[in-house]
Amino acid sequence: MREVVRFCATDGAFERDPYPTFSTLHRRNQVLFDPDLGAFFFGRHAEVDSILRDEDFTTAALESSAQPVMGGRVLAQMEGREHHLKRRLVQSVFTGRAFRDRYGTVIEDITRRLLRDCIRQRSFDLVGDFGSRYGVLVSLAILDLPADRWRDISAWHCGIAAFVTSLRMTEEVRTHGLECSRLMRAYLTEAIQARDQSDVASPLSVFFGNQDAEVVMPMSEVVALVLNVLLAATEPADKALSYLFYHLISDGGQLQRVRENRSLLTGAVRETLRLTSPVQLIPRQTRRSMTFFGQDLPAGSRVFAMVGCANRDPSVFEDASRFNIDRFLSGGARAAVMHQTTSIAFGAGMHACVGAAFAKMQLELAANIILDDFSDLGLRPDFRLTERGVYTRGPVALDLEFTPAAASGPSCAHRGS
Ligand code: 2IO
C-alpha cells in the first residue's frame, strides 16, 4: 500500500504555489486525496500516462462537469465508431497543408492587427491587451464564424470555461455558466444556419457532411462540436502564449537565440507546454474497482491526472524545472519520438488533444510576428508573475516593455520554411 495524503485542491495555497506539492509527489510514493471532492490526484508521469491510456479510467465525469454547458457530448465522452469518425472529421479539418494555406495568413493578420494597438503604447499586457482577444478571434476564424460579436463570445466562453473547470462548483458559477451556454448556443445556431453553404471546404460544411459523408450530424450535434472546438482552442491559447514569452524573456539568452534562429521556436513552444502546461488536470472515473500503482480505488472513484505535475517529473525529465528549449530538439529524430512519449501536455491515449498540431502552429505563427514587431522585449521592472487556476492555469498578466522596431513591416528571415 502506498501513502494517501489529505489534500485540498481548492484552498488557494495550492493554486498560488503548486510546485512544492509537485515535488513531494515526485519524491515520495504518494497519492493525494481531497475528501471534500472525493477525488484522488495522481502526479507521477507513469501514473498520469497510464490513467490516460487505460480504458478502465472513463470520461464519465464529463457528463456532469461539461455536458450541461456544452449542450451535448464532447469528443472526449465518445467511444467506438462514433468517436473514431467524429475525431477523424475534426482532425481532417484542422490539420494539414490545406488548413495551413487557408488559415495561416488569417492567423497572422489577426496577430498583426492586435499588435498594432499594443505598439502604440510604451508597454502592454500580453494577456489582457493581446492574448485574450487573440485566442477567441483565432478560434472564430478557424471555424469560419463571424468576428463582430467577439466580446460577447469571449464573455460567454469565460462563463462556460469556469463551469467546466471548477472543481467545487458554486451556485453562482453554475447559474452563470448555464446562462452563458444558452446565449452562446443560440448565437452559434444562428451563425451556423447563416453559413456560406457554397464553401464546401469550410469546417462548418464538413461537419454537416458532404454527399458521401460517413457521418451526418443534426444541428444540435454540430453546435456541440463547434462549441467543443471553440472552448478547447480558446481557453489555453493566451495562457500558452504568455508563458512562452515569460520563459523566453526570463531567460534572455534563450530569447536572443530564438530571435536569431527561428527554427528554435518549435522547441521553445514544446518546452513551454511541458514546464507550464495550460491544462493541468484531466478528470477520469474508474469503471471498476482496481489496484492502481498500489492504491486501491473503488469502482466509480473520481481521479484527476495531474498533467502539469507529471510534466515536471525528474525521473523522466532531466533538470525538470528548467526551461530548456533544446530539450526536445537535440538528437533529431530520436527527440521527436521522445517528445511524443514523454510530454503529456496534450494528454495521451485515444482522447489525446485532436488540436495539438493546430495549437503549436498557432503559437509559432503568433510568436514569430511578436518577435518581428518588437526588437527588444522585457518584463516591466515592477512585474511579478501571478498564475491563476488549478485546472487550466496561466499568468494573470504579462506586462512587457519594448522599443518599437525601426523598420516598418515584418522581417522575412524565417519565412518560407
Ligand atoms: C472541453 C479544458 C478547455 C477538451 C472539455 C470539456 C473537453 C476536453 C480538455 C481540453 C481543454 C479544455 N478537455 N479540451 O481538457 O476538448
- Cα(22) to centroid of ligand 1, in Å? 22
Give the strands of the sheet with 3-6, arranged side by side. 3-6, 30-34, 39-42, 302-306, 281-286, 57-58
The pLDDT confidence band at residue 54, using thresholds 50, 70 and 90, is: very high
| End-to-end C-alpha distance for the chain, whole angstroms | 53
Does residue 245 surpass a pLDDT of 90? yes
Contact 377, 255 (CB under 8 A): yes
Taking residues 91-96, what's their average pLDDT?
90
Name the residue of 63, 158, 277, 353 to mutate for ligand 1: max ligand atoms within 8 A of Cβ. 353
Taking residues 338-352, what's their average pLDDT?
82
Taking residues 150-167, what's their average pLDDT?
98
Phi/psi of residue 235, each to 5°? -60, -45
- Cα(389) to centroid of ligand 1, in Å? 14
- Cα(39) to centroid of ligand 1, in Å? 19
pLDDT at 417: 41
Phi/psi of residue 15, each to 5°? -65, -45
pLDDT at 214: 79
- Cα(232) to centroid of ligand 1, in Å? 5
The pLDDT confidence band at residue 216, using thresholds 50, 70 and 90, is: confident
State how far the alpha carbon of 185 is from the alpha carbons of 6, 14, 153, 182, 220, in Å.
39, 34, 10, 5, 9
Taking residues 250-256, what's their average pLDDT?
90
Does residue 190 surpass a pLDDT of 60? yes
Q: Where are the beta strands (DSSP E) in 183-301?
A: 281-286, 290-292, 295-297
Q: Centre a 10 Å sphere on the Cβ of residue 123 and count the other Cβ atoms it contains.
A: 14
pLDDT at 211: 58
- Cα(230) to centroid of ligand 1, in Å? 10
pLDDT at 359: 96
pLDDT at 98: 86
Partner residues linked to 387 by β-bridges: 395
pLDDT at 416: 42
Does residue 127 surpass a pLDDT of 80? yes
Q: In ligand 1, which atom is closest to the CA atom of 165?
A: 2
- Nearest residue (by CA) to ligand 1, atom 9, is 232
- Nearest residue (by CA) to ligand 1, atom 3, is 232
Task: Please tell me the distance from the alpha carbon of residue 386 to that of residue 376, in angstroms, as a whole number.
Answer: 23
Does residue 143 surpass a pLDDT of 60? yes
Taking residues 392-410, what's their average pLDDT?
80
327: nearest Cα among 278, 417, 257, 266: 266
State how far the alpha carbon of 165 is from the alpha carbons of 136, 369, 396, in Å.
18, 31, 16
Name the residue of 59, 157, 164 to mutate for ligand 1: max ligand atoms within 8 A of Cβ. 164
The pLDDT confidence band at residue 168, using thresholds 50, 70 and 90, is: very high
Amino acid at position 84, single letter: H
pLDDT at 210: 66
Mean pLDDT of the chain: 92
- Cα(377) to centroid of ligand 1, in Å? 32
pLDDT at 121: 86
Does residue 353 surpass a pLDDT of 70? yes
The pLDDT confidence band at residue 412, using thresholds 50, 70 and 90, is: very low
Predicted model pTM: 0.94
Torsion of the alpha carbons at 88, 90, 91 and 93, rounded to the nearest 10: 120
Q: In ligand 1, which atom is closest to the CA atom of 347?
A: 15
Does residue 223 surpass a pLDDT of 90? yes
Q: Which residue has the higher pLDDT, 197 or 333?
A: 197
| Grid cell digits, residue 348 | 495521451
Taking residues 4-16, what's their average pLDDT?
95
Contact 329, 335 (CB under 8 A): yes
Q: In ligand 1, which atom is closest to the CA atom of 392?
A: 2
- Cα(266) to centroid of ligand 1, in Å? 23
Amino acid at position 183, single letter: L
Q: Which residue has the higher pLDDT, 247 or 98?
A: 247
Amino acid at position 147, single letter: A
Q: In ligand 1, which atom is closest to the CA atom of 164?
A: 6
Q: In ligand 1, which atom is closest to the CA atom of 66?
A: 6
- Cα(112) to centroid of ligand 1, in Å? 28
| Grid cell digits, residue 165 | 473547470
For residue 351, what is the DSSP state?
Answer: G
Q: Is the C-alpha dihedral spanning 156, 279, 110, 221 positive or negative?
A: negative
pLDDT at 340: 47
Residues flanking ligand 1, CB < 6 Å: 62, 66, 74, 76, 164-165, 228, 231-232, 235, 279, 282, 392
- Cα(298) to centroid of ligand 1, in Å? 25
- Nearest residue (by CA) to ligand 1, atom 11, is 232
- Cα(239) to centroid of ligand 1, in Å? 14
